[in-house]
Structure 1
Amino acid sequence: MPSTVLSFRADEEMVSKLDQLAEATERDRQYHLKRALSRYLEAELWHLQAIAEGVSDADAGHLTDLEFVKEKWVKRAENSPD
């Protein structure tokens, strides 16, 4: 797969931490940046998909009554050991 070069500015502290990580793991900056970006994108895209599914459910009328939810959490709090 062809790759594209990305560049961005980072503060010195962040670069220093990245270099420490790279040295400790015997991997280069690119390895860690690609891994971090991949994890970030996966999490953010999952979140967007979950929101879209929730909106679709709401649009289809699949809603939970607010009073039911409140009652459930009140009971849980009452039964909590704290």
Structure 2
Amino acid sequence: MSKESIGFRIESEKRIALDQLSQAMQRDRSTLINEAIDSYLELHFWQVEVIKRSLAAANAGEVGVDHSEVFKNLRARLLGKMH
């Protein structure tokens, strides 16, 4: 996978916290930022898919995605990230 360099603005406090975490974890800042972006994209793409499925079901007069399925998935994601 090719890599690109991008620039963005970040609040000073967040950059300091990121650097502290980077040092504590003995990992570089870019790795932590990429992991955070991966998590963000994974979660939000999943949410968009759930919303699309629910809307399609609602438009077809069917029951949408069960809330227990949503919470089960979110709980599994959270626990997976903690281990």
**Where does residue 58 of structure 2 map in the other structure?**
58
User: Counterpart of 1:76?
Assistant: none
Trace 1:3-82 onto structure 2 (pairs within 5 A): 3-63=3-63
> Amino acid of the residue matched to residue 12 of structure 2?
E
Structure 2 counterpart of 1:6, which letter?
A: I
Query: For structure 2, which runs of at least 5 residues remain unmatched after alignment?
Result: 65-83
TM-score if structure 2 supplies the norm length? 0.72
TM-score (norm 1): 0.73
Instruction: After the TM superposition, list the runs of 4 or more consecutive aligned residues in structure 1 that deviate by more than 6 angstroms.
Output: none
Indicate the structure (1 or 2) with the bigger Cα radius of gyration. Answer: 1
Query: Gapped runs of 5+ residues in structure 1?
Result: 65-82
What is the deviation of 1:59? Answer: 1.3
